[in-house]
Amino acid sequence: MMPSNLLALYGLKFNPFAQDIPVEAVFVSSKLDHFCWRIENGMAREGGFAMVHGDPGSGKSVALRVLHQRLTRLPDLMVGAITHPQSSLADFYRELSDVFAVPIKTHNRWGGFKALRERWLAHLEASRRRCVLLIDEAQEMSSQVLSELRLLASARFDSQALLCVVLAGDARLPEKFSREDLIPLGSRIRCRLAIEAATVDELLACLNHLLAAAGNASLMTEALRQTLCEHAAGNPRILMNLSSELLAQAAQRELPQIDEKLYLETYTATQNRRAKR
């Protein structure tokens, strides 16, 4: 976290390049907005599986943060998240028990299976909405857990969805669903958000939005912003890392603005050190 005196130096409300920026400051693309709208207005009522996938650093976890905030604003909607996708089946039931406040004896899997489904049905009858379960890094989940989740989340011979599940992961996640034992789950994914490499213009729009939201739209020169976006390889995380390093360098020198000169000094020196090694 950036010290408050450094934020004051540039009139910033928060560090725009940190991982924990306020959700309200996140740049929401039209694709992400449409995906969230479909979950809010469709799948939260109808249930089923949705998936977000993309390369590391492309913004999958940020997409879940935005979706989580929008869902929690809906009245009478229960939203939970799995934080340990690598769990064994027994631990997965324990985490579901904690998320949905359902007491479960893990040695009695049928009892846990029944209790969770009853909890979801009761919520559906009371609110006319399905409970929503968000799972980040879902590529780490075992096939056994994913298959169990598919069975848990459906009733009446697969004609009734009891839960809305949003899975997010890297390229290994859609690949998993081509395996024979997971094809039944892959075929049930009704809504997808494929996050591809961003264009320079998309990265520039994101950077401009962040700087304005943080309170200093002119923190970086226009030429530097363009240069950073061209060298970020279409990856928002790389863009944020490059920008964060420049902000730290500028703050240390108490520069009034971050420009291309600082960029060349910082990264040319780094490249020279690597070449010598």
Q: Is the pLDDT confidence value at 275 over 60?
A: no
Comparing CA positions, the residue from 261, 237, 239 lying closest to residue 249 is 261
DSSP state of 235: -
Do the domain assignments include residue 9?
no
Calpha distance 166→182 (Å, rounded): 16
Q: Hey, what are 31's tokens?
A: 């694709």
The reply to whether 183 and 216 lie within a common domain is no
Q: How confident is the model over 57-115, as pLDDT tens digits? A: 999 999 999 999 999 999 999 999 999 999 999 999 999 999 999 999 878 999 999 99
Comparing CA positions, the residue from 187, 173, 258, 266 lying closest to residue 224 is 258
The reply to whether 51 and 165 lie within a common domain is yes
Looking at 165, 195, 225, the residue that finishes a domain is: 195
Q: How many structural domains comprise the chain? A: 2
**What is the domain range of residue 242?**
198-276
Q: How confident is the model over 247-273, as pLDDT tens digits? A: 999 999 999 999 999 999 998 755 555
The reply to whether 221 and 207 lie within a common domain is yes
The reply to whether 159 and 257 lie within a common domain is no
The reply to whether 48 and 157 lie within a common domain is yes
Mean pLDDT for the chain?
Answer: 93
Angle (deg, nearest 10), helices 236-253 and 200-214 = 50
Looking at 148, 165, 195, the residue that finishes a domain is: 195
The reply to whether 113 and 136 lie within a common domain is yes
User: CATH number for the domain including 153?
Assistant: 3.40.50.300
53 bridge partner residues: 169, 194
pLDDT reported for residue 7: 84
Comparing CA positions, the residue from 168, 150, 186 lying closest to residue 47 is 150
User: CATH number for the domain including 262?
Assistant: 1.10.8
pLDDT reported for residue 195: 97
Q: How confident is the model over 164-193, as pLDDT tens digits? A: 999 999 999 999 999 999 999 999 999 999
Calpha distance 112→105 (Å, rounded): 7
Q: Hey, what are 14's tokens?
A: 């928060």
The reply to whether 59 and 191 lie within a common domain is yes
The reply to whether 191 and 215 lie within a common domain is no
The reply to whether 211 and 179 lie within a common domain is no
From residue 272, give the alpha-carbon distance in Å to each of 135, 245, 259, 275: 42, 17, 20, 5
The reply to whether 180 and 209 lie within a common domain is no
Do the domain assignments include residue 260?
yes
